[in-house]
């Protein structure tokens, strides 16, 4: 391959550097996928390295599929002999071969977030933990965090025991029981896939040595997004040969809130002192002014490696700023601009993306787009595999594949209705727990083990007979045929056909789509087993289903947009308190992550970028007024222009970083003023609302979510008044006065 003519100088150096540790700092739009694919092709075609010796790790199935397709075009079918997959898919592949060494069967189930929640709730019930004291979501997040940091249930229990914190102690008890139940169900949750692989390697040196020999060359994409468990997995695999190439951009580390550790990429040279560093700074995606704006913002971060994006593209339009009267006005402006650009520049709806900080901001744009007949789709809404009818049939498939899976059994045992009520299921479950057996084992001998009504026993026997027939069929027929058999034999499809519910037709269509998905899987996969299908479905992410050819406006969070690009981008809700969020304003570390998120949003735009804000908007039912985002102020004035019909003076409105603006409601009209420069007052109809003059340590207050609490401390600073409150049942919280709804008690 004539690499010098195919790549720029920096890309070429990255492609031909094969041996030893290599850090490729790839700025947004700098062609990192091109570098990775040509690097693999160079290794296989020019250096005659066996494809099976190469492991390439990405973060999404979409990225893995794209990379594999590109490599296949360069080297042919040899690409099929190497591993190009996500962290989780690679770990599943290893665990399917080796997990028996950890005491699991190789046909283990992979629990999704729904299954995980069901099991955690069951643990809470058995341990008599009130969900008003600790929510299942808090427990799930805490357990996930421990696994990401490779902390076992026993280790966590010992750690929190020393702190004498009753709340954390109960979470530790749930963690212990939850992990025990997972193993009894022969199941792993999503975090376990990496956690258990690392455990496997650390406890079985022969297994680790096998995979170290197998993968002589390792490449990791999006290295800035790795957490501790992913970092440790790669460290173990690369320890023998140290031929590790990581590609990433510290300026695009936006997942610290879910465990990503930016130090992994910033400290790469400390882990590998002999590492070579190559910077890819030439951007092939965006117009010049867009890149200059991105550089203006990100240079304000201190925790970063210095690099400046450059491009040979023309400067293009300035960044358009719009200061709306309200969030409704903001939605109308975006709609009108999309209509105008479609009309005057012959653009398609798929050219546009609306990016926001939180999913709650989507409603106004949905309403406005519907009124204006603008087709749209939301990335991050209800996923196909989260719909009830799909989860029901998927639970049948999971249980058929793994009869130890009590969570899936409980979902399907009376779906559709077959006279096996909750009371009967509870009896079966309690007996199974007492005998330390799975529930299906109890069902197989139902007459002998539990005293139940004859009608229930008859229904259970029919159910068992049905499941046994499916289990016998699973290795003899295709997955799509098995799904059809389940739909027909269980009466699930007939129930929907005779139902008078308005959504029955759409549910039937969804089930047909599930059959189509199975057929597509059978046509495109070498391994057509039920286990392989379940893995593919469980590991799919929302962004994997993104269809860039669908002619609709895309609405999504900035987090979801990472890795994508659009000709025209609207970054909406650019206000202090929203983007950046209010918590970021007092925390330098969080502010840097918010700035990186803004940088990611800006660099999604290829040709045009809009940044909009609103003087007032409704949040959680209340009207609030925030200042324009500090991030807009960080962009040089020569790069931006207001599109407000002479309302440019709004850019000088005080930012939340210096002052909270005030708003009060008088005779249904909004009047603005700076009655108090440190408080953001919101519309309120509550006579008991906590007054500013009553705020002091020691007084009792009430919060609509956290309940009754006592103010511990009052801290006045440049961004408002922060209250530290010890709530009776929800622990200590830090809240901003004027933002949190507080009542005097």
Whole-number Å distance between alpha carbons of 137 and 113: 10
Q: What is the mean pLDDT of the chain?
A: 86
Percent of the chain at pLDDT > 70 equals: 90
Residue 324 is inside which H or E element, if any? strand 319-326
Give yes or no for residue 243 having a pLDDT over 90. Answer: yes
pLDDT at res. 665 = 30
pLDDT at res. 56 = 96
Check the annotation: does 32 bind a ligand. yes
pLDDT, tens only, 419-444: 898 889 999 998 888 888 899 988 98
Task: Read off the pLDDT of each residue in 32-59 and give the average, rounded to a whole number.
Answer: 94
Task: Read off the pLDDT of each residue in 131-159 and give the average, rounded to a whole number.
Answer: 93
Give yes or no for residue 286 having a pLDDT over 70. Answer: yes
pLDDT at res. 70 = 93
Task: Read off the pLDDT of each residue in 53-61 and give the average, rounded to a whole number.
Answer: 92
Let me know: does 271 contact 258? Beta carbons within 8 Å: no
Place of tokens 């341990």: 127
Q: Lowest mean pLDDT of 163-177, 277-291, 447-461, name the range.
A: 447-461
pTM > 0.85: yes or no? no
Task: Read off the pLDDT of each residue in 298-309 and give the average, rounded to a whole number.
Answer: 91
Task: Read off the pLDDT of each residue in 635-657 and give the average, rounded to a whole number.
Answer: 64
Give yes or no for residue 656 having a pLDDT over 80. Answer: no
Backbone CA torsion sign across 73, 77, 83, 85? positive
- End-to-end Cα separation, the chain, in angstroms: 76
Give yes or no for residue 45 having a pLDDT over 80. Answer: yes
Task: Read off the pLDDT of each residue in 473-494 and give the average, rounded to a whole number.
Answer: 93
Whole-number Å distance between alpha carbons of 302 and 592: 8
pLDDT at res. 281 = 94
Q: Please give the residue that has the higher pLDDT: either 709 or 638.
A: 638
pLDDT, tens only, 493-525: 999 988 877 678 878 888 988 898 888 888 888
pLDDT, tens only, 682-696: 344 455 677 777 787
Give yes or no for residue 531 having a pLDDT over 70. Answer: yes
Whole-number Å distance between alpha carbons of 311 and 288: 6
Which residues are within 8 A (CB) of 652 and not within 5 positions of it... i.e. 6 or more apart? none
Q: Grade residue 719 by pLDDT with cuts at 50, 70 and 90.
A: low
Q: Which two tokens stand for residue 464?
A: 């068992």
Whole-number Å distance between alpha carbons of 463 and 155: 41
Give yes or no for residue 231 having a pLDDT over 90. Answer: yes
pLDDT at res. 382 = 55
Task: Read off the pLDDT of each residue in 387-412 and give the average, rounded to a whole number.
Answer: 93
Give yes or no for residue 715 having a pLDDT over 90. Answer: no
Q: Lowest mean pLDDT of 116-120, 361-365, 414-418, 567-571, name the range.
A: 361-365
Give yes or no for residue 664 having a pLDDT over 60. Answer: no
Check the annotation: does 106 bind a ligand. no
Q: Lowest mean pLDDT of 45-54, 498-507, 527-536, name the range.
A: 498-507
Check the annotation: does 525 bind a ligand. no
Check the annotation: does 31 bind a ligand. yes
Q: Lowest mean pLDDT of 16-20, 624-628, 632-636, 693-697, name the range.
A: 693-697
Residue 611 is inside which H or E element, if any? strand 605-619
A 10 A CB-CB count for 680 gives 25
Let me know: does 594 contact 579? Beta carbons within 8 Å: yes
Whole-number Å distance between alpha carbons of 80 and 280: 28
Whole-number Å distance between alpha carbons of 620 and 713: 26
Whole-number Å distance between alpha carbons of 716 and 723: 9
Q: Which two tokens stand for residue 718?
A: 């440049």
pLDDT, tens only, 665-688: 323 333 233 233 333 333 444 556
pLDDT, tens only, 359-398: 878 888 988 998 899 999 888 655 677 788 999 999 999 9
Check the annotation: does 33 bind a ligand. yes
A 10 A CB-CB count for 611 gives 27
Q: Which two tokens stand for residue 419?
A: 């006279």
Task: Read off the pLDDT of each residue in 182-211 and give the average, rounded to a whole number.
Answer: 96
Helices 327-344 and 362-371 pack at an angle, to 10 degrees, of 50
Let me know: does 204 contact 227? Beta carbons within 8 Å: no
List the catalytic residues: 32-33, 221-222, 252, 604
Is residue 3 helix, strand or coil?
A: helix
Backbone CA torsion sign across 594, 595, 600, 601? positive
Give yes or no for residue 291 having a pLDDT over 70. Answer: yes
Give yes or no for residue 205 having a pLDDT over 90. Answer: yes
DSSP conformational letter for 272? -
pLDDT at res. 687 = 56
Most confident of 368-382, 529-543, 562-576: 562-576
pLDDT at res. 256 = 87
Whole-number Å distance between alpha carbons of 660 and 654: 8
Check the annotation: does 454 bind a ligand. no
pLDDT at res. 456 = 87
Check the annotation: does 73 bind a ligand. no
Which candidate, 335, 245, 307, places its Cα nearest to that of 603?
307
Q: Grade residue 113 by pLDDT with cuts at 50, 70 and 90.
A: confident
Whole-number Å distance between alpha carbons of 455 and 463: 12
Q: Which two tokens stand for residue 48?
A: 């005659």
Let me know: does 537 contact 89? Beta carbons within 8 Å: no
Check the annotation: does 27 bind a ligand. yes
């Amino acid at each position: 391959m004539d690499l010098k003519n195919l790549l720029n100088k920096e890309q070429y150096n990255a492609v031909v550097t094969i041996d030893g540790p290599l850090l490729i700092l790839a700025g947004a739009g700098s062609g990192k996928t091109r570098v990775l694919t040509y690097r693999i092709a160079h290794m296989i075609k020019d250096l005659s390295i066996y494809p099976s010796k190469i492991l390439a790790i990405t973060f999404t199935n979409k990225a893995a599929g794209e990379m594999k397709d590109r490599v296949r075009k360069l080297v042919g079918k040899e690409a099929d002999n190497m591993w190009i997959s996500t962290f989780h898919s690679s770990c599943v592949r290893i665990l399917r071969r080796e997990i028996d060494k950890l005491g699991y069967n190789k046909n283990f189930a992979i629990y999704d977030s729904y299954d995980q929640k069901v099991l955690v709730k069951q643990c809470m019930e058995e341990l008599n933990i009130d969900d008003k004291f600790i929510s299942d979501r808090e427990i799930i997040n805490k357990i996930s965090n421990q696994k990401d940091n490779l902390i076992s249930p026993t280790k966590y229990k010992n750690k929190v025991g020393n702190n004498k914190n009753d709340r954390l102690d109960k979470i530790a008890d749930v963690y212990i029981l939850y992990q025990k139940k997972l193993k009894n169900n022969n199941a792993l949750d999503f975090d376990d896939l990496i956690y258990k692989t690392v455990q496997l390697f650390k406890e079985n040196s022969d297994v680790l040595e096998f995979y170290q020999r197998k993968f002589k060359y390792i490449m990791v994409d999006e290295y800035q997004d790795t957490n501790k468990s992913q970092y440790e997995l790669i460290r173990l695999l690369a320890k023998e040969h140290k031929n590790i190439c990581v590609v990433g951009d510290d300026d695009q580390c936006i997942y610290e809130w879910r465990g990503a550790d930016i130090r992994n990429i910033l400290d790469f040279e400390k882990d590998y002192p002999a590492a070579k560093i190559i910077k890819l700074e030439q951007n092939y995606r965006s117009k010049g002014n867009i890149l200059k704006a991105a550089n203006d913002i990100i240079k304000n971060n201190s925790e970063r490696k210095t690099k400046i994006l450059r491009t040979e593209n023309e400067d293009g339009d300035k960044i358009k700023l719009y200061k709306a009267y309200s969030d409704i006005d903001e939605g109308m402006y975006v709609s009108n601009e999309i209509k105008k650009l479609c009309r005057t520049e012959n653009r398609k709806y798929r050219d546009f993306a609306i990016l926001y900080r939180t999913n709650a901001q989507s409603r106004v744009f949905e309403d406005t787009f519907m009124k204006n007949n603008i087709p749209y789709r939301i990335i991050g809404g209800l996923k196909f595999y989260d719909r009830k009818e799909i989860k029901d049939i998927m639970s049948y498939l999971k249980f058929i594949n793994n009869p130890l899976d009590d969570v899936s059994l409980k979902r399907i045992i009376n779906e559709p209705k077959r006279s096996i009520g909750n009371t009967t299921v509870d009896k079966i479950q309690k007996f199974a727990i007492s005998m330390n057996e799975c529930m299906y084992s109890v069902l197989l001998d139902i007459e002998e083990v539990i005293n139940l009504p004859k009608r229930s026993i008859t229904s259970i026997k029919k159910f068992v007979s049905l499941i046994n027939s499916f289990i016998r069929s699973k290795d003899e027929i295709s997955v799509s045929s098995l799904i059809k058999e389940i739909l027909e034999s269980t009466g699930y499809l007939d129930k929907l056909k005779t139902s008078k519910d308005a959504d029955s037709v759409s549910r039937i269509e969804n089930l047909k789509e599930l059959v189509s998905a199975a057929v597509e899987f059978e046509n495109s996969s070498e391994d057509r087993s039920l286990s392989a299908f379940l893995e593919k479905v469980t590991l799919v992410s929302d962004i994997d289903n993104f269809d860039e050819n669908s002619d609709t406006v895309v609405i999504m969070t900035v987090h979801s947009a990472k890795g994508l690009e659009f000709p025209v981008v609207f970054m909406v809700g650019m206000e202090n308190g929203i983007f950046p969020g209010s918590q970021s304003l007092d925390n330098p570390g969080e502010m840097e992550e918010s700035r990186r998120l803004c940088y990611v949003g800006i660099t999604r735009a290829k040709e045009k970028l809009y940044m909009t804000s609103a003087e007032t908007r409704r949040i959680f039912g209340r009207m609030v007024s925030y200042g324009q985002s500090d991030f807009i102020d960080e962009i040089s004035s020569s790069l931006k222009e207001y599109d407000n019909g002479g309302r440019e003076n709004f850019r000088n409105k005080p930012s939340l970083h210096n002052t909270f603006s005030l708003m009060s409601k008088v005779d249904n009209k909004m009047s603005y003023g700076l009655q108090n420069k440190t408080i953001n007052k919101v519309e309120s109809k509550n006579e008991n609302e906590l007054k500013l003059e009553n705020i002091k340590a020691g007084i009792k207050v009430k919060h609509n979510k956290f309940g009754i609490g006592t103010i511990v401390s009052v801290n006045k600073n440049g961004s408002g008044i922060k209250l530290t409150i010890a709530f009776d049942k929800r622990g200590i919280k830090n809240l901003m006065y004027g933002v949190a709804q507080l009542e005097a008690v």
